[in-house]
Structure 1
Amino acid sequence: MSQFNVSQVNYGATDEDNIVLKSYRVSVNEEPELEDGQEKTAAPSDIELSDAPSNIEKQPLHAGSPAKRTEKEAAEQDQFFKDGVRKIDYVLAFRKDTKEGEDEEKRAKRRKEYFGNLKEEGLHMEEADADSTAEVTEDDEEEEEEKITFIKIHAPWDVLARYAEEMKIKMPIKPNDIDEPTSIWSCLRKLPNPFALSEDYIKPESNYFTLAFVRERESEFIMDSRDSFFPTATRSRIVNEILEKCRYDPDDKTKFGHVHMVANGSLVAAFPLHDGDWKSEHSMLTHGPLNDRHLLYEEWASPKKFYKQQPLDLVRSYFGEKIGIYFSWLGYYTVMLTYAAIFGIAAFLWGCITLGSNVKVAEICDTEGVGSLLMCPLCNERCDYWHLSSSCFYSKLTYLFDNGATVFFACFMSLWATMFCEFWKRRENTIAYDWDLFGFEENEENIRPEFEAKAPDKRISPITKLAEPYISFVTRFPRLAMAVVTILFMILLVVAAVVAVIIYRIAIKVALARTDSEFVSSMSSIVTSCTASLISIIIIMILQNLYERIAVWLTNLELHRTETEYEDSFTFKMYLFAFVNYYSTSFYIAFLKGKLPGNPSDYGKIFGLRQEECDASGCMQELFINIAITMCGKQFFNNFMELGTPVILNCIRSYRGRQEAKKSKGRYEQWEKDLDLADLGPRGLFKEYLEMVVQFGFTTIFVAAFPLAPFFALLNNLIEIRLDAFKFISQLRRPYAARAQDIGAWYAILLAIGNLSVLTNALVLAFTSEFIPQAVYKHRYGEGGLAGYMEFSLSVFNTSNFEKDSAPVDSDINATECRYRGFYTGPNPPYEPTRDNWIILTMKLVFVLLYEHVIFLIKMALAYMIPDVPDFVRDQIRRENYLAQQALHEATLLKAKEQEAAASADV
């Protein structure tokens, strides 16, 4: 059969355009076309199935016993009806259970109505009979009624053509005659590339312009035969559209669709078939790929190909545009991370190289000099005085991420986020043209069946002038209000969890600081940070799963008109919650912890507990630890849950399937194998996007505190691409080929994160880092150096002025003065901010204003200079529109001539 796939585009590089002409691969299947004349095929007892052509041989596609068939022939046999001609476009599975009595009768009635409506739509159906060699024993007879029955579905030409016209599916009309312009990028692409895919298997494809299919103008399209015209992915999408709208209860218009049938137990599953096995007994070098699924595994999902570009056009052809765009975006994001990772590693290495020469670290670690300064206790009564040198390790750790290169890296990352979004928009528009997605949401996307069935009002469409379902704002407002209130409640729940973690941090730090062990006491800060971060990530996972269920209910309640509107609303809800959930602890450490601790005569308090103070070297190391644990821990957990759980469950189910097939001496058919796989689900890609966008936030919003975040994100994504590919190829049922014009609401979220990162990084550098205080000291007192900075940054306190119940009890140290962080007068009261405190605060505010204004101006300039659509793509769009108008004109003239000829003949 013919299969049309967009040609390979090199999305693994970040050149100017990476534009390859839109194209389709044509591979002809020589199977004969069906003719008229029908006969009945075998059917389940409770349904009528479509008729089969009478002139088709009753032999299977490949003759011979199963043992004699080749591996490839056996796989191909499972793709067709028993006549060997009609291709299986979808499979429905259901289980009869006579033990359930009345419930099973209701399900059987629903199935009969549903299957009857499918037949009226013109679909052909066939029951998957047991293998003729199977032996049924007496023990099996009791289980017969509980076995799963499979219904194979085939869409004939008239159904495909009717729905292709209704869904405005674009098909090829003319070879693309526009040559790619010569540029430095096109020349570079001709050089040997170790990351390029092997053309021995991923062949270059032909290029075509396309036009929305019209049955009356069938001859204008490039067509070898009707059987080969629509590719497999398009066929499954059309059949899914029919399955989604067919009703199963004639008395209730809200009862429709295979999704609801699965939910109420009438069906076990509904899915298109995989092409065959994803692995082969033979090497591709000697026998070639078994099918596209096997080829995708070898060239895409195999760990050996982790460094190769993705065969995105083959991914799109097999799984559909929606999944293809996700992997395009993920590949592009991963490539862009390489540049961020290089600069992040450079900033980190600069800290490692200059660590030994840093005056601040040297002063803290000098036990005979500044390091011997006596510091005020970190908690009330039970905590003792401590020496500044105890912070030596923390000061070294802080400097690795808070050094002179950090400022430049933060600026780079703020601009990187803009470049990422702008160049992705450009790439996305190129993909949208190559994959015929321009105007999909406006022209092709259909109304959701749920909206059509449940919308309480009707109105005349201003576009079509036809009556259509409608929900007024007055009707929708209570639903939206309920959604807003629920979201606010869940956000408050997250804030409450964060406050609980803060109280835990305060309590556990006090407990560790009070221990008699000097080592445990000295490590109190890092132990507190690590354990609190682990507790936070556990709370995050629990609340995320809870909120997802609530968000689904709220979004269903809102009754959105199209699937795009539904997904965008669900996405915004979930990300708003995820933002608060994942980043709230980091915001607390960066901007609240240690900012208002007071002084030993009047400590700041939270719920009656003394506030946490930052280490003498600052809070940057705690912010780094929290981000590292939350980011890396989340990624590890998600990867395990995404792949580990399906692998374990699939192994159990497939083992049972093989054992049953062996027991009955039958074949383990492809539809049985696919049923044993996990289902992607209606929002399968949402979790993939959410995971990556949350990661994007960690690599931009707080990157000033963790310059290695892009590097760890890069390592994760290199693994993530292959894990996701392996999961889609081997562990999940094949999803229907859904279409999407872009990455949806995620682009707006990415833009918002990029803009927010400018402000947050400016605030981290100004208020969390020691960058501004050190710069002020160098300018006013240090004569360009940091000698004496630590004493400058510490205030002196007279121990006789401790507030009540805060002085150390039973201390071995008889101290009259101690030091604490901040710029206050002392050692005697009043303890008021010094002039240096106000100067430093002013400079921090000035730095934030200058930083964000300069970066935003550069970001706007970059956004203006980078066009959203490449000029070459614009030319192709104009050329395609011209050809469409020309084809319409020619069709009109031809019709007029035919009418004139008919009129002359009548005369």
Structure 2
Amino acid sequence: MADKLGHKRHGSIDLLEVMGVVNEKGSTNHLPPSVHTPLTYDYVLVADNLEDLNSETYRKQVTFVNALKDKRLKISKISDDDKVFYGIKAPKEIFEQYRYLLKVSDACNWSYEQQGIVPLSTRIRIVNFILHHTCIYETGEYLQDLIKKNVFEAEFCLHEKKEQKDLRMSWARWTACFQGQPISNVRNYFGEKVALYYLWLGWYTFLLIPAALLGIIAFLYGLAFYQSSPLIKEVCESSTVMCPLCDNKCKVWSLNETCSYAKMNLLFDNEGTVAFAMFMAVWATVFLEFWKRHRASYVCEWKVFDWSEEEEELILEIVNDPDCEPKQHKHSYLRSILVMVLVTLMLVLIIGLAHALVVFRVIAAVHLTESSWEFLSDYANTAALMMGAVLHYFTITIMTRVNRIVAIKLCDIERVRSHAGKERSFTVKMFTFQFFTLFSSLIYTAFFLGRINGHPGAYVRIQQKWRLEECHPGGCLTDLFIQMAIILILKQSINNVLEFTGPWFCRWIKRRKLPRQKRKCANCYMKENQECRAGVELCDNCKLQDLQRNYRLNKVDCFSLFNEFLEMVIQFSFTTIFVAAFPLAPLLALLNNIIEIRLDAIKMVSLERRLVPQKTNNIGVWTDVLEAVGVLAVIANGLVIGISSDFIPRLVYRYYYGPCYNSTSRDINCMAGYISNTLSIVQVNDTQIFSDYQLRTHNGQYVTSCSYKDYRSSEDFSLTPQFWLILAVRLAFVILFEHVVVIFKFIAAWFVPSSSLQVKNTRLHDKLKRLKEELR
């Protein structure tokens, strides 16, 4: 397909195939397989086989089925011991009407429907729309209302055995991790919406390769030079006595105790990290622009480039009810203000949880310091930070469910006109809630930790009791790195395990509960059965077993694909926003995505009921979300480097305060004495800042002064001129960094057109062909 649409391969097609960006077999211009393999039913409803035929539940079942029959749908009832299956099949006239309306619409496209052929994915989509827009006239209850009241238990469309087996062999298996994705076959079976998700995920995974490689190089750069760094040598050989990090049992300590932490901090806080952060900020834009170009080639081939969501919905409305009235666009300022207020309150709650995590770490550090275990007492701050990160992960898991419920309720308050509009509104709200849930604690760690805790004699305390936590002894960036690493590793590993074992276990439970069928229709399970391939009507028992096989699969709903998108976009946020503190994040994301593609494929093909195929030509509002994340990545990485890291203080010291200033000697190390320069001294012999117990070293020696990391005067704790100079340079760097990266982003967006010339010419040719057909 790449050659057909004018994309040059340049020898990179192997990598593209490995990541699943293109189909290893190229494009498929033949008709979708599902056109030639009709199913017995387009859709299935499942209900309990009731013994009381006079019950209200049974009456509603019959009434709803009759309402479907009034819309010319053919209903077949197949009963089991405890379940009844309503097989639904739409007549040809409904699809002919849909095809004609599609032809005369403004967003006409030369697709399969225009050629007089209705693929099975289209049949399922139309029948699904009719089912969900049919109601019981007496009560006004729709299908979702009936399912909530247990009138019907489930609804689903059937898997096609042959196509399902083909996808399982070529795509949905672990041994296919390094094979290409058959995107066209996925589109024929699951629809454009699912196909574009896998196309986007494959493209994202492919472009993570250069990001991961440069992240490794940045890490190796720090690994190669940290041993010979004069900063590490100064810390490890220092005899400086540092002030206690907490009250009560904390004592003064020696700076050389943080030798290992200083080495770890320098691995992620060096010149290579700055360059890598700039690259990742530009990478986010390049990724999106190339994705738009890549998407255009596929939607052009699928003939859905000019597809209109609003036109499609109007056509389906007419097919469902020829006398329908359009849903008017409405807007209520009162509802908008109410939603805005509720969203703000929800964000305040989420930020409050981040503050609760801060309080937890402070209290945990105090209790760990007072522990009788010497190991916990010595590493109290690190242990408290790690415990806080684990607790943050569990908070994320719980709040994900809460955020979904709140987002749905807010969308109900808005009363959005269309289902697509409601989906967009829900996506924005859910992502916003999840973003603040995941990043509130990280934002505090990156920009506030160690900067609002005060100084000796004026420490900031919680309820005048617990001292606010300080940065990790190795540096502020170390805290952010530890927290990100724990959350990212836990989130990806645990989610992948639960994502696979959960559906498998649920299906196993369902199989255990159902009794074995004594009769089997062997013809339907023969691999090369001619009658089944020819579409001959099957025996009732064979139909029943096919229905039961699909019924035992795990339930899917409108959130199934949304959950996958949300998970990947959140990972994209982790990979780009705070990558300056964790350059190995793209590598972890790459390894995870290689597994994620096959994991999602196995779930959809083998473990879950078939998703209703949805038509679209893009990934919707997720594109806007990704662009917003790209902007946040520029801002956050600039602030992390300018505010959180020691890059700017080291730069100022080298060229203004260090030994190289006003010196022409080449033998002088320009960073000599930097660590001592960053420390302030407090005289404690005549003050009551610390207790006598705290002023004694582990050897029992009493000290009269101690140091702490800050730029303050030893007399009155006022900020020194060096602090204000560094602050000015920090702000200047942030502004310069963001402007430079934004300029590069605009250049990249301008340089990479959203559609190739071949795509534009193909669209022009198709439009001309359609107009000529109209004249005939």
For Structure 1 versus Structure 2, the TM-score category normalised by the shorter chain is 0.7 to 0.9
Report if aligned partners of 1:447, 1:561 keep a CA contact under 8 Å in 2.
no
The partner residue of 1:406 within 265, 273, 298 is: 273
What residue identity is the alignment partner of 2:717? Y
- Residue 418 of structure 1: SS of its match in structure 2? helix
Q: Displacement of 1:752 after TM fit? A: 0.8
2:122 aligned with 1:237 = no
2:258 aligned with 1:382 = no
Per the alignment, residue 85 of structure 2 pairs with: 150
Q: Displacement of 1:169 after TM fit? A: 10
Report if aligned partners of 2:393, 2:490 keep a CA contact under 8 Å in 1.
yes
Per the alignment, residue 823 of structure 1 pairs with: 711
Moved more, 381-390 or 444-453: 444-453
2:282 aligned with 1:397 = no
Per the alignment, residue 875 of structure 1 pairs with: 761
Q: Displacement of 1:625 after TM fit? A: 0.9
Per the alignment, residue 855 of structure 1 pairs with: 741
Q: Quote the Cα distance in structure 2 between the aligned partners of 1:300 and 1:404.
A: 42
Q: Which runs of 5+ in 1 are unaligned?
A: 1-5, 32-75, 81-86, 131-143, 174-208, 215-220, 224-228, 277-290, 454-463, 891-907
Per the alignment, residue 423 of structure 1 pairs with: 290
Q: Displacement of 1:22 after TM fit? A: 7.6
Per the alignment, residue 568 of structure 1 pairs with: 424
Note the alpha carbon deviations across 1:430-460, whole angstroms, 9 max, x for none: 232222322333553316999999xxxxxxx
What residue identity is the alignment partner of 2:97? R
Per the alignment, residue 461 of structure 1 pairs with: none
**CA 1:28–1:376: 2 relative to 1, 3 Å:** closer
Q: Quote the Cα distance in structure 2 between the aligned partners of 1:809 and 1:413.
A: 45
Moved more, 633-642 or 375-384: 633-642
**CA 1:523–1:449: 2 relative to 1, 3 Å:** farther
2:644 aligned with 1:768 = yes
Report if aligned partners of 1:165, 1:212 keep a CA contact under 8 Å in 2.
no
Percentage identity across paired residues of the two chains:
31
The partner residue of 1:646 within 503, 506, 531 is: 503
**CA 1:874–1:23: 2 relative to 1, 3 Å:** farther
What residue identity is the alignment partner of 1:543? M
Note the alpha carbon deviations across 1:231-260, whole angstroms, 9 max, x for none: 22122112212222222x1234x423x333
- Residue 226 of structure 2: SS of its match in structure 1? helix
Q: Quote the Cα distance in structure 2 between the aligned partners of 1:233 and 1:542.
A: 36
Note the alpha carbon deviations across 1:84-133, whole angstroms, 9 max, x for none: xxx4222222113336x87xx22222222222232232222222366xxx
Per the alignment, residue 468 of structure 1 pairs with: 326
Per the alignment, residue 91 of structure 1 pairs with: 44
Q: Displacement of 1:807 after TM fit? A: 6.3
Moved more, 585-594 or 421-430: 421-430
Alignment of 1:154-233 (within 5 A): 154-166=89-101, 210=110, 213=113, 221=115, 229-233=117-121
- Residue 542 of structure 1: SS of its match in structure 2? helix
**CA 1:552–1:167: 2 relative to 1, 3 Å:** farther
What residue identity is the alignment partner of 1:163? Y
The partner residue of 2:678 within 793, 797, 816 is: 793
Q: Quote the Cα distance in structure 2 between the aligned partners of 1:806 and 1:500.
A: 29
What residue identity is the alignment partner of 1:746? W
Q: Which runs of 5+ in 2 are unaligned?
A: 8-12, 523-540, 661-668
The partner residue of 2:351 within 495, 498, 503 is: 495
Note the alpha carbon deviations across 1:197-231, whole angstroms, 9 max, x for none: xxxxxxxxxxxx825857xxxxxx3x6xxxxx322
2:390 aligned with 1:534 = yes
Report if aligned partners of 1:777, 1:789 keep a CA contact under 8 Å in 2.
yes
**CA 1:113–1:744: 2 relative to 1, 3 Å:** same
Q: Whose Rg is larger?
A: 1
Q: Quote the Cα distance in structure 2 between the aligned partners of 1:821 and 1:274.
A: 64
**CA 1:590–1:262: 2 relative to 1, 3 Å:** same
Alignment of 1:658-669 (within 5 A): 659-661=516-518, 669=545
Per the alignment, residue 672 of structure 1 pairs with: 548
- Residue 87 of structure 2: SS of its match in structure 1? strand
Report if aligned partners of 1:680, 1:735 keep a CA contact under 8 Å in 2.
yes
Note the alpha carbon deviations across 1:628-655, whole angstroms, 9 max, x for none: 1112212223223332221111011123
**CA 1:377–1:644: 2 relative to 1, 3 Å:** same
What residue identity is the alignment partner of 1:90? Y
Give the alignment's TM-score, normalised by structure 1.
0.75
Q: Quote the Cα distance in structure 2 between the aligned partners of 1:213 and 1:107.
A: 39
Alignment of 1:496-511 (within 5 A): 496-511=352-367
Q: Quote the Cα distance in structure 2 between the aligned partners of 1:333 and 1:213.
A: 31
The partner residue of 1:310 within 181, 184, 187 is: 181
- Residue 838 of structure 1: SS of its match in structure 2? helix
Per the alignment, residue 301 of structure 2 pairs with: 434
Q: Quote the Cα distance in structure 1 between the aligned partners of 2:548 and 2:306.
A: 38
Report if aligned partners of 1:123, 1:159 keep a CA contact under 8 Å in 2.
no
Q: Quote the Cα distance in structure 2 between the aligned partners of 1:583 and 1:419.
A: 24
Q: Displacement of 1:350 after TM fit? A: 1.3
Report if aligned partners of 2:32, 2:188 keep a CA contact under 8 Å in 1.
no
Aligned CA-pair RMSD: 3.2
Alignment of 1:20-35 (within 5 A): 24-26=29-31
Moved more, 673-682 or 511-520: 511-520
**CA 1:584–1:517: 2 relative to 1, 3 Å:** same
What residue identity is the alignment partner of 1:575? F
Alignment of 1:210-359 (within 5 A): 210=110, 213=113, 221=115, 229-247=117-135, 249-252=136-139, 254-256=140-142, 258-276=143-161, 291-359=162-230
Q: Quote the Cα distance in structure 2 between the aligned partners of 1:387 and 1:860.
A: 49
**CA 1:448–1:550: 2 relative to 1, 3 Å:** farther
Report if aligned partners of 1:11, 1:18 keep a CA contact under 8 Å in 2.
no
Per the alignment, residue 613 of structure 1 pairs with: 470
2:14 aligned with 1:126 = no
- Residue 327 of structure 2: SS of its match in structure 1? strand
Q: Quote the Cα distance in structure 1 between the aligned partners of 2:463 and 2:316.
A: 52
Per the alignment, residue 702 of structure 2 pairs with: 814
**CA 1:843–1:27: 2 relative to 1, 3 Å:** closer
Q: Quote the Cα distance in structure 2 between the aligned partners of 1:808 and 1:711.
A: 47
Whose RCO is larger (CA < 8 A, sep 6+)?
Answer: 2
What residue identity is the alignment partner of 1:125? I
Q: Quote the Cα distance in structure 2 between the aligned partners of 1:846 and 1:703.
A: 21
The partner residue of 2:231 within 353, 360, 365 is: 360
Aligned length: 730
2:617 aligned with 1:741 = yes
2:580 aligned with 1:704 = yes
Report if aligned partners of 1:128, 1:149 keep a CA contact under 8 Å in 2.
yes
Q: Displacement of 1:698 after TM fit? A: 0.8
What residue identity is the alignment partner of 2:512? Y
Note the alpha carbon deviations across 1:655-699, whole angstroms, 9 max, x for none: 333624579996671110111111211221111111111111111
Q: Quote the Cα distance in structure 1 between the aligned partners of 2:279 and 2:266.
A: 19
Give the alignment's TM-score, normalised by structure 2.
0.88
Q: Quote the Cα distance in structure 2 between the aligned partners of 1:379 and 1:563.
A: 55
2:60 aligned with 1:107 = no
Q: Quote the Cα distance in structure 2 between the aligned partners of 1:465 and 1:270.
A: 27
2:312 aligned with 1:445 = yes
- Residue 149 of structure 1: SS of its match in structure 2? strand
Q: Displacement of 1:11 after TM fit? A: 11
What residue identity is the alignment partner of 2:756? P
The partner residue of 2:67 within 87, 106, 117 is: 117
Q: Quote the Cα distance in structure 2 between the aligned partners of 1:349 and 1:660.
A: 61
- Residue 159 of structure 2: SS of its match in structure 1? coil
Q: Quote the Cα distance in structure 1 between the aligned partners of 2:26 and 2:768.
A: 17
Per the alignment, residue 13 of structure 1 pairs with: 16
Q: Displacement of 1:590 after TM fit? A: 0.5
What residue identity is the alignment partner of 2:457? S
Q: Quote the Cα distance in structure 2 between the aligned partners of 1:808 and 1:169.
A: 87
